Amino acid sequence: MIKYYLAEDIDCRVKEILRKLKMTHIDGTRLICLRSKGSGSRRVIARCHGLSRIMQLALNKKPHYVIEILSERFDRLNKEDQTKVLIHEILHIPHSFGGGFRSHRPFVTRAKVQRMYDKFIAPPVDPTKKNTKEDESL
């Protein structure tokens, strides 16, 4: 039987990703991170769940999303791969933040995840510093 637990550690990491990548279309107050244990899934590391439109209407709730981390697989990954998995799941959330999902192609691809990860780990740009030809050669 699958058991679910709130994952505050994952929630902090997801919020850091949203902040650094300036993904302002995602309302972090309506994005919940859970860790599951006991799943029989063989290939799944994480899942993104959305509150469907019909459930939003029936429950009189705004759209919400859940990122579920399958502990048995996710926790064994190194930090870089974990971050890439989280970025992958976040990319499934559409800009409308309406409860639906973005498909893998063209929205969620390895190349796009890698670009977003590279941007995530890049040092912050100092807006007060002007870029010069001399800086580019270094």
pTM of the model: 0.87
Residue 135 lies in a domain: no
Residue 14 lies in a domain: yes
Q: What value does the mean pLDDT of the chain take?
A: 91
Which residue segment(s) compose the domain that 8 sits in?
A: 3-123
What's the CATH code of the domain at 9? 3.30.2010.10
How many structural domains are present in the chain? 1
DSSP state letters, 37-91: E----SS-SEEEEE--HHHHHHHT----EEEEEEHHHHTTS-HHHHHHHHHHHHH
Using one digit for the tens of pLDDT, what is the confidence trace for 92-108? 999 989 888 888 888 89
Residue 138 lies in a domain: no
Using one digit for the tens of pLDDT, what is the confidence trace for 23-73? 999 999 999 999 999 988 889 999 999 999 999 999 999 999 999 999 999
